[in-house]
């Protein structure tokens, strides 16, 4: 029998469970602590190579047709061999550029040893049939044809694609299956260049195998030894002084939070997920939970600086209590080298209209949804879920009326942060831990802090069908922290 736990009790049992995992013979980690097998080999070779952009595939005449092959391939990773999971043999997969109103047709051919599928993360498209359907399973050796009809008024922004077959999502994303989607309406943004930066992490053994996850990592959410940008270890971005670049950043990590900063450079925020700033807003740092994306402007100043993640405590001190405080810790992602003559200043960035605002409409329904961690699994393991229940694909947890606008209060009584992701229907954040969010703020991943809550508005006007919401710490999702929602 399971039972909900208080924050204090969860901390106590987490400590006991992790200690039990250690005595059960998991072994020592790369840090000498019980978080992963001892076979992990940290690599630091090939830092400083020029950043390589993923292949770009663009829609033409309203259509983008993609052949996507999932396969294990041996690549050079940080100075050594690595047998990674890939889309079309590359890490990351190709970047897809589409426009509102386009049709996106994707044939996925699975050459892996395990089943897989495809999720177009953040796209507001149908979840039915061969749309963004998380219940599809593509067996080894089989193919599946997806069709995504992008609405004509779809928000522009940075989105991404990755597998979403329950039970193997973390393994497959950690192994290298991810790529970027850019929805662009053709509006001119004067920049010297645009870059896609897919930030991910992974761990490989000395002979190039992916490091298997430990029991303790499943509980906390795995993080890799190697922090990568476009599959490269600490690459170099070169520019001239005064140049303004547009960076499309994806947090494709399975569990790692990124608190990104580029000290010494001018950074402005254009948007996060499908949300937009009315005009570029100067920022010192940007927090991206797993699954979040950012659209940034970076104006270059002469000298050498680093794109860093400053570190973020996502566990409410639980890991520090256990003697390991380095989860989502500080790290260098890339080096920025700015030299040469000053370039002429570019035109100002045009202002854009404010995003739509649902707050003038009285919600048709209100729901309370809670992340839960309960004891009751074998060997003293935690069970992850929502509202005390683990994921069941055959059960429908929430039913919304097509056309309704609902207010959801998402609560997190657990001792660690959880990023909440809702498929198909973006969320307008209206309150974060009791503080009103004044400007229209649209997200598809919302971080809910330990012991906190977030209130959002969800518009079910479009896309009837059945899909899921879940924690985007992917090990938690695979362990059952996912539920279903149907609009009908």
pLDDT band (50, 70, 90) for residue 377: low
Rounded Cα gap, residues 195 and 474, in angstroms: 26
Report the alpha-carbon distance of residue 435 to residue 438 in Å, rounded: 9
Does one domain contain both 334 and 383? no
Q: Are residues 163 and 243 in the same domain?
A: no
Average pLDDT in the chain: 90
The pLDDT-based confidence of 10 (bands split at 50, 70, 90) is: very low
pLDDT for 315: 85
User: Which of 122, 149, 183 marks a domain boundary?
Assistant: 183
Quick one: pLDDT band at residue 177, thresholds 50, 70, 90?
very high
User: Model confidence over 440-470: pLDDT tens digits?
Assistant: 999 999 999 999 999 999 999 999 999 999 9
Is there a single domain that holds both residue 259 and residue 323?
Answer: yes
How far, in Å, CA of 87 to CA of 59, rounded?
19
* pLDDT recorded at residue 47: 75
Predicted pLDDT at 358? 97
Q: Are 381 and 17 in contact (CB under 8 A)?
A: yes
As a whole number of angstroms, the distance between CA 112 and CA 118 comes to: 14
Confidence of residue 38 (pLDDT cuts 50, 70, 90): very low
Q: Are residues 70 and 171 in the same domain?
A: yes
The answer to whether residue 380 scores a pLDDT higher than 70 is: no
Do 218 and 170 belong to one domain? no
Band (382; pLDDT cuts 50, 70, 90): confident
Average pLDDT over residues 193-214: 95
Assess whether pLDDT exceeds 80 at residue 189: yes
Task: Confirm if 271 and 250 have CB atoms less than 8 A apart.
Answer: no
Q: Considering 183, 205, 224, which residue would you say is the last residue of a domain?
A: 183
What pLDDT is recorded for position 43?
65
Does residue 11 lie within any of the structural domains? no
Is residue 48 one of the residues assigned to a domain? no
The CB density around residue 218, as the number of other CB atoms within 10 Å, is 18
d(C-alpha 49, C-alpha 234), whole Å = 8
**Contact between 287 and 309 (Cβ < 8 Å):** no
Query: What does the pLDDT read at residue 145?
Result: 98
Residue 110 neighbours by CB under 8 Å, 6+ apart: 70, 116, 138, 139, 140, 141, 142, 143
State the pLDDT at residue 147.
98
| Number of other CB atoms surrounding residue 434 within 10 Å | 8
Confidence (pLDDT) at 216? 86
What confidence tens digit (pLDDT) does each residue in 67-123 have?
A: 999 999 999 999 899 999 999 999 999 999 999 999 999 999 999 999 999 999 999
pLDDT band at 327; cut points 50, 70, 90: confident
What pLDDT does residue 320 have?
Answer: 52
Q: Is residue 62 part of a domain?
A: yes
Confidence of residue 353 (pLDDT cuts 50, 70, 90): confident
Helix (H) or strand (E) holding 242: none
Asked, for residue 149, whether it belongs to a domain, the answer is yes
Query: pLDDT band for position 375 (50/70/90)?
Result: confident
Q: How confident is the model at residue 309 (pLDDT cuts 50, 70, 90)?
A: very high
Higher pLDDT, 201 or 379: 201
The verdict on residue 323 lying in a domain is: yes
- How many domains is the chain built from? 3
CA 87-419-214 angle, 5° bins = 65
What global pTM score does this model have?
0.91
Determine the Cα–Cα distance for residues 432 and 277; give it in Å rounded to an integer.
18
Domain residue limits at 477: 365-487
Q: Looking at the structure, tell me whether residues 211 and 315 fall in a common domain.
A: yes
Query: pLDDT value at position 28?
Result: 27
- 414 has pLDDT over 80: yes
Nearest to residue 472, comparing CAs of 409, 388, 410? 410
423, 463: one domain: yes
Specify if 15 maps to a domain.
Answer: no
Statement to judge: residues 200 and 145 lie in one domain = no
Residue 248 pLDDT class (50, 70, 90 cuts)? very high
Same domain, 207 and 122: no
Q: Domain holding 69: CATH number?
A: 2.60.40.420
Verify that 440 and 479 share a domain, yes or no: yes
Which band of pLDDT confidence, cut at 50, 70 and 90, is reported for residue 29?
A: very low
Query: CA-to-CA distance for 410 and 392, rounded, in angstroms?
Result: 20
So what's the pLDDT on residue 117?
98
H or E, element range at 18: helix 7-23
**What is the model's pLDDT at position 4?**
41
pLDDT tens for each residue of 255-307: 999 999 999 999 999 999 999 999 999 999 999 999 999 999 999 999 999 99
Q: Is the pLDDT at 44 greater than 50, yes or no? A: yes
Mean pLDDT value of segment 230-234:
97
Decide if 359 is inside a domain. no
Q: In angstroms, rounded to a whole number, what is the distance separating the alpha carbons of residues 89 and 92?
A: 9
Same structural domain, 218 and 280: yes
Asked whether the beta carbons of 181 and 234 are under 8 A apart, the reply is no
Report yes or no on 34 lying in a domain.
Answer: no
């Amino acid at each position: 029998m399971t039972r909900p736990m208080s924050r204090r009790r969860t901390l106590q049992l987490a400590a006991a469970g992790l200690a039990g995992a250690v005595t059960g013979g998991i072994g020592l980690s790369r840090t000498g602590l019980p978080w992963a097998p001892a076979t992990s080999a940290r690599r630091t070779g090939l830092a400083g190579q020029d950043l390589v952009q993923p292949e770009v595939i663009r829609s033409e005449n309203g259509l983008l047709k993609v052949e996507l092959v999932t396969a294990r391939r041996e690549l050079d990773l940080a100075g050594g061999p690595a047998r990674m999971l890939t889309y079309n043999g590359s890490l990351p997969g190709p970047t897809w550029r589409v426009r509102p109103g386009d049709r996106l047709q994707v044939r996925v051919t699975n050459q892996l040893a395990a089943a897989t599928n495809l999720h177009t993360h953040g796209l507001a498209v149908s979840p039915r049939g061969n749309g963004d359907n998380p219940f599809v399973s593509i067996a080894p050796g089989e193919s599946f044809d997806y069709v995504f009809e992008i609405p004509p008024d779809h928000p522009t922004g940075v989105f991404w694609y990755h597998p979403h077959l329950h039970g193997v999502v973390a393994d497959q994303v950690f192994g290298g299956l991810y790529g970027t989607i850019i929805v662009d309406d053709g509006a001119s943004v004067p920049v010297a260049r645009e870059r896609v930066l897919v930030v991910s992490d992974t761990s490989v053994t000395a002979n190039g195998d992916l490091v298997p996850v430990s029991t303790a990592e499943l509980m906390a959410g795995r993080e890799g030894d190697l922090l990568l940008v476009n599959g490269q270890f600490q690459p170099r971005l070169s520019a001239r002084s005064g140049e303004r670049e547009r960076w499309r950043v994806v947090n494709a990590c399975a569990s790692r939070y990124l608190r990104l900063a580029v000290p010494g450079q001018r950074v402005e925020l254009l948007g996060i997920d499908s949300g937009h700033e009315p005009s570029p807003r100067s920022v010192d740092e940007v927090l991206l939970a797993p699954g979040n994306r950012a659209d940034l402007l970076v104006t270059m100043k002469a000298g050498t600086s680093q794109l860093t993640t400053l570190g973020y405590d996502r566990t409410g001190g639980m890991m520090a209590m256990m003697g390991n405080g380095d989860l989502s810790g500080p790290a260098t992602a890339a080096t920025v080298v700015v030299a040469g003559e000053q370039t002429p200043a570019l035109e100002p960035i045009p202002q854009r209209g404010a995003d739509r605002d649902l707050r003038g409409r009285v919600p048709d329904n209100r729901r309370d949804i809670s992340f839960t961690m309960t004891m009751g699994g074998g060997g003293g393991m935690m069970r992850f879920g929502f509202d005390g229940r683990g994921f069941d694909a055959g059960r429908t947890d929430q039913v919304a009326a097509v056309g309704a606008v609902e207010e959801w209060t998402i609560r997190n009584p657990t001792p660690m942060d959880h990023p909440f992701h809702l498929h198909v229907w973006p969320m307008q954040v209206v309150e974060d831990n009791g503080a009103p969010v004044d400007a229209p703020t649209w997200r598809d991943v919302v971080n809910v802090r330990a012991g906190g809550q977030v209130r959002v508005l969800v518009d079910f006007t479009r896309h009837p069908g059945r899909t899921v919401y879940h924690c985007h710490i992917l090990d938690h999702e695979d362990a059952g922290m996912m539920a279903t929602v149907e609009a009908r």
